[in-house]
Amino acid sequence: MYFRKSIIAITGLFLCLFLIVHLSANSILVLPQEVARGLYNSYSTTLRESPFIKIVAYILYLSIVLHVIYALVVTVNNRKAKRKGYAVNRFRENSSWTSQNMGLLGITVLLFIVVHLANFWARIKLGLGEGVGLDSEGHVDVYKVTYSLFQNSYYVLFYSLLMIPLGLHLYHGLKSAFMTLGFYHKKGLRILAKVSLIYAGIMALGFGIIPIIVFFK
């Protein structure tokens, strides 16, 4: 069980780092369109053509798969254990709603990832669906794909609302990851809880508000 939880913790921390980079890139979208388009497309081209980034991308895909699989296994095993009577007494009184429902939050986040990949990654990386053109500099026009989706009110609503369960998942997950890996310093845990809250808030608010800003540009 410890091995499984350690895999969840390590992959989760890696994904947390990835989200910081991803949010930084998405922040380009709030710039004026004539500036944002060139920067965003140039940035996307650099990522696709960099050998180092390609390696990181494979690590990212593997991390997502391992995180989902092991989280699912641990969640199922925990539920089986509770049904057999091995649950800690007064579990619900001694744990937060978020900790009790990490599995549900994870499934919701996974749903978002699948939809997100279908609309971006599948079109740009795999060439599925409607073709993606080039901008005036000859770069694949990823900005146009993103901008067009963020002009769809239903997609913006879906995207922004699902940042709420993402934030809750990140808040509890970040704290738990360090504890799983052996970090139990009492004062350090209090600081970590605050850092986790700030991090989760920035990620949820940042990712959630950018589509809204683009929609009203």
89 falls within a domain = no
CA dist 180 and 12 (Å) reads 11
| Confidence band of 83 (pLDDT split at 50, 70, 90) | low
158 falls within a domain = yes
Domain of residue 57 covers 2-84+95-215
Asked whether the beta carbons of 71 and 77 are under 8 A apart, the reply is no
124 falls within a domain = yes
Q: Which has more confidence, 200 or 185?
A: 200
**Domain tally for the chain?**
1
25 falls within a domain = yes
Asked whether the beta carbons of 106 and 71 are under 8 A apart, the reply is yes
| Confidence band of 77 (pLDDT split at 50, 70, 90) | confident
43 falls within a domain = yes
DSSP letters, the chain, are -HHHHHHHHHHHHHHHHHHHHHHHHHGGGGS-HHHHHHHHHHHHHHHHH-HHHHHHHHHHHHHHHHHHHHHHHHHHHHHHHHHTT-SPTTTTTSS-HHHHTHHHHHHHHHHHHHHHHHHTHHHHTS--SS---B-TTS-B-HHHHHHHHTT-HHHHHHHHHTHHHHHHHHHHHHHHHHHHTT---HHHHHHHHHHHHHHHHHHHHHHHHHHHHHHT-
| Interval 93-128: pLDDT, tens | 556 788 788 888 999 999 999 999 999 888 888 888
* Predicted pLDDT at 75: 85
CATH number for the domain including 47? 1.20.1300.10
90 falls within a domain = no
**Residue closest to 77 by CA, chosen among 3, 184, 15:** 3
CA dist 177 and 196 (Å) reads 11
